[in-house]
Structure 1
């Protein structure tokens, strides 16, 4: 069903892109959106998965069928919210959560009040608020789905198949990047980092490929601890190697921290440490071996990190503007911009306490499209990458945007939203009725921790290629918390499981 919806959307996008060259640009994304929405109405879970994967790859698809296809989410997400609410009726199944829903309402209300108080034009703050809320809509729609173990296992097979294909292609690319990219007609990116090639496989940028590999690697390694299937360990190793080949510091470091955090979560009590350590030995050993193999590359990344945070006194002055997809988001020149965005957000939060500067005024996509006067007011327009004529680093962070635009209250509301999600998944994981569900919950916590770490230096929670799949996975975990009754016994200690991974009776 997923394949029918996904490839159907891809085919109609390609055909309409070829036919409607001179027509309105909305025809192509509208055709793809129609297929996805029809699939969602027919089969909600495969339809939502098809959308998440379609968007994950739409930067690449755009190189073949045109940029208009990247507007598909603008059409699909509002319709998903409406169709999802009508078809799934979450209020009837009690899938509402006072803390989570209340924090989201508070965030929206504070954003509206802040925008009105600061006289932000409606044409700016409404689109900016919509961009922030789009991934959250995916989370809610996914959380409304009638979720069973078989549902997310089927979705996992699809995502793993795509992951294996892209990982293998990434490893092939490492041998000759230029030839690989030219053969597939992809944008050229040949920027080795030390001894690491910085591959991107089928994606438009190594950062997206790195996140996808880390995302899948965490799920596989955590699932291996619970299910003891060796193929999961092998896939985790494959995705780990691919992550290292991207040479993205954030993805590598965030995944390592997330893995350790999941190990700590599985231990919980000091008395369980020896038992849990034995269960985790294969995962920790595999991770260590991969790290040792890539030690030369890691040393090169360490040198780049030092270079980044201790940049030379005379930065390059070349006036050449790089193509957006060729911008190195972990280059040394991005650090001053990110640091300035953080310090600026604190100053704005202080000066505009408690509401912030208004939605669409700081660190967001709309503040770059309609260059915000806040950057002039706080002297940020003098910093490379934040200047009006070249503002490409304005959207390189997430939390400064929340603090600067929504104020302290908005920051607290978004933080509470994430905390409530973490707690719900954590509690559901502890009381999971079978090992497969427990593995999915633990893996979801791991990828959420990884995303939180990456969000310190990327717009992780608003970046469409990544945020939709991330929030769809988190929403699916929340859906499972509703599908399981709280009176079920907790998952048993490690032991023999059936071939299907279900708890032994």
Structure 2
């Protein structure tokens, strides 16, 4: 036994010697090797925890990159998603279990194929359309990876507990931002123009670097808390968190966050058939409209002048959205290809499509960091322009199928926690679609990991109801074993009877 243990220790000893030798020659490579091996080991040993770490990393990668100006930190979310996308399916295959698909997976695959093939056929540089494909599809890859994990109720309880801790942390940071606004923004804000107050509302950023990030997270948090109180249980703690997260979303002064919160909250309440609450809202809305008539009128006027007025210069978001349909028509049926319009890669390389349309002279769509602040300010121009009408249609159908699967899980879940996960996915789908009109939700931090991670959980929870338990024999197998055992005992008794008759003695040796 000692020899076997010594033999098992040799690989670790050799690995330690190898890493030590590498550290002498290439210290950075040695550290990277240790980190990669440790990360792979974590994903294999604790897949659910690895998925959770990835979600948290996606949440805070932007403020981390802002506070620690190391370029490589900006790729932390892509790196962790890639790690999960490779290791989690491999782990399931090694266990000799079939890979799962997530809702709408094959339609999303069509979306990806449209962007890649269009880039290939139109002669886009491979580095451009491949990197663009990674950015566009990383959330989908993460959903597929998370679907390979066997999620159970204990995982949902841990998820809820960790989520509550993250919410409390964000609220404490938001409170500090409100109390020490100038000092906090000087350290945390990445865009001075974005933190200017709007009317009577400040533009708080909390633990993030931009108000819209805080607004998105607080909106999703409020929806998750609402769903918890509808499906699991109500209490003063969750009520306090619900009010605080809704207030934090309001204090970001972002129309996208506020609108998505209202829309998703009403949708979730309607899904839960909370008629009393909806009736109270219907009564209170006219009163609130009268009381808040002046600020509401200001918001409506500013929004109209900025986006809809024919006399004003078109806003950057409007230009991108309108032109995306022209790009899709010009490169019918599959668009301009990944990395060519409306995406982060198109902005970093400053796509020829922008030069052709005179974007350098349009404020917010220029070449520099200051002039090009709105090149990646919304989601759908990239989906429509880069993958065309076919790719955009496939993406929309995929989102509809995600909503349908989430609704089914909510309606037919076997436990309150499972139903909670389904209802949260319903609300988050509505919220992210609303937010995607004016900000990046499906392809960029901070919420793509949260949303698509939940989509993967919905897929796994739905599939586990239909998959046989590998540790339990099917009922018909157990019945067959009982029949076989009974037949064996009967044949043994007959053999003994035949022997006793032939010898004249019974089974106890008596005549």
TMscore range, shorter length: 0.7 to 0.9
Classify 1:151/1:360 alpha carbon distance in 2 versus 1 (closer, same or farther; 3 Å): same
CA distance in 2, matches of 1:124, 1:457: 24
Partner of 1:439: 420
Partner of 1:71: 75
Moved more, 55-64 or 247-256: 55-64
CA distance in 2, matches of 1:188, 1:353: 37
State the Cα distance separating 1:41 from its structure 2 match. Answer: 2.1
Classify 1:33/1:236 alpha carbon distance in 2 versus 1 (closer, same or farther; 3 Å): farther
Native 8 Å contact 2:62 2:74 kept in 1: yes
Partner of 1:46: 49
State the Cα distance separating 1:78 from its structure 2 match. Answer: 2.0
Counterpart mapping for 1:353-392 below 5 A = 353-389=332-368, 390-392=371-373
CA distance in 1, matches of 2:297, 2:110: 45
State which of 138, 142, 158 in structure 2 corresponds to 1:138.
Answer: 142
State the Cα distance separating 1:480 from its structure 2 match. Answer: 1.2
Native 8 Å contact 1:196 1:297 kept in 2: no
State which of 314, 328, 331 in structure 2 corresponds to 1:352.
Answer: 331
State the Cα distance separating 1:263 from its structure 2 match. Answer: 2.4
Write the deviation string for residues 377-399 of structure 1: whole angstroms up to 9, x where unpaired.
Answer: 33444322223343331211211
Classify 1:212/1:144 alpha carbon distance in 2 versus 1 (closer, same or farther; 3 Å): same
Classify 1:143/1:34 alpha carbon distance in 2 versus 1 (closer, same or farther; 3 Å): same
State which of 462, 468, 488 in structure 1 corresponds to 2:449.
Answer: 468
CA distance in 1, matches of 2:297, 2:56: 34
Counterpart mapping for 1:85-96 below 5 A = 85-89=89-93, 93-96=97-100
Structure 2: gaps of 5 or more residues: 1-22, 469-511
State which of 236, 246, 252 in structure 2 corresponds to 1:240.
Answer: 246
Partner of 1:192: 197
State the Cα distance separating 1:349 from its structure 2 match. Answer: 1.6
For the pair 1:305 / 2:299, whether they are aligned, the reply is: no
Moved more, 363-372 or 213-222: 363-372
State which of 392, 399, 406 in structure 2 corresponds to 1:425.
Answer: 406
State the Cα distance separating 1:93 from its structure 2 match. Answer: 4.7
For the pair 1:260 / 2:266, whether they are aligned, the reply is: yes
Classify 1:127/1:292 alpha carbon distance in 2 versus 1 (closer, same or farther; 3 Å): farther
Moved more, 405-414 or 290-299: 290-299
CA distance in 1, matches of 2:440, 2:27: 30
Native 8 Å contact 1:181 1:188 kept in 2: no
Native 8 Å contact 1:29 1:70 kept in 2: no
Partner of 2:473: none
Write the deviation string for residues 399-433 of structure 1: whole angstroms up to 9, x where unpaired.
Answer: 12111111111111111221221111111211111
Partner of 2:126: 122
SS at the partner of 2:350? coil
Classify 1:91/1:486 alpha carbon distance in 2 versus 1 (closer, same or farther; 3 Å): closer
Give me the TM-score of the superposition, normalised by structure 1: 0.77
Partner of 2:221: 216
CA distance in 1, matches of 2:178, 2:286: 21
Native 8 Å contact 2:340 2:386 kept in 1: yes
Count residues with an aligned counterpart. Answer: 438
Structure 1: gaps of 5 or more residues: 1-19, 268-275, 316-334, 488-505
Classify 1:347/1:80 alpha carbon distance in 2 versus 1 (closer, same or farther; 3 Å): same
CA distance in 2, matches of 1:305, 1:346: 22
Partner of 1:163: 167
Native 8 Å contact 1:237 1:287 kept in 2: no
State the Cα distance separating 1:313 from its structure 2 match. Answer: 6.7
Write the deviation string for residues 347-395 of structure 1: whole angstroms up to 9, x where unpaired.
Answer: 1222221121122111111211212111233344432222334333121
State the Cα distance separating 1:464 from its structure 2 match. Answer: 2.5
Q: Give the alignment's Cα RMSD to 1 decimal.
A: 3.4
State the Cα distance separating 1:160 from its structure 2 match. Answer: 1.4
State the Cα distance separating 1:307 from its structure 2 match. Answer: 4.5
Classify 1:210/1:31 alpha carbon distance in 2 versus 1 (closer, same or farther; 3 Å): farther
Classify 1:363/1:356 alpha carbon distance in 2 versus 1 (closer, same or farther; 3 Å): same
Partner of 1:203: 208
Native 8 Å contact 1:221 1:283 kept in 2: no
Give me the TM-score of the superposition, normalised by structure 2: 0.77
SS at the partner of 1:144? coil
Structure number with larger C-alpha Rg: 2
CA distance in 1, matches of 2:28, 2:387: 33
SS at the partner of 1:464? coil
Native 8 Å contact 2:403 2:425 kept in 1: no
CA distance in 2, matches of 1:192, 1:28: 44
CA distance in 1, matches of 2:46, 2:137: 24
Write the deviation string for residues 304-338 of structure 1: whole angstroms up to 9, x where unpaired.
Answer: 434433679788xxxxxxxxxxxxxxxxxxx6111
Write the deviation string for residues 242-298 of structure 1: whole angstroms up to 9, x where unpaired.
Answer: 11111111011111111112223233xxxxxxxx31376799999999999988765
CA distance in 1, matches of 2:77, 2:461: 25
Partner of 1:394: 375
Native 8 Å contact 2:380 2:436 kept in 1: yes
State the Cα distance separating 1:96 from its structure 2 match. Answer: 3.4
Classify 1:371/1:185 alpha carbon distance in 2 versus 1 (closer, same or farther; 3 Å): closer
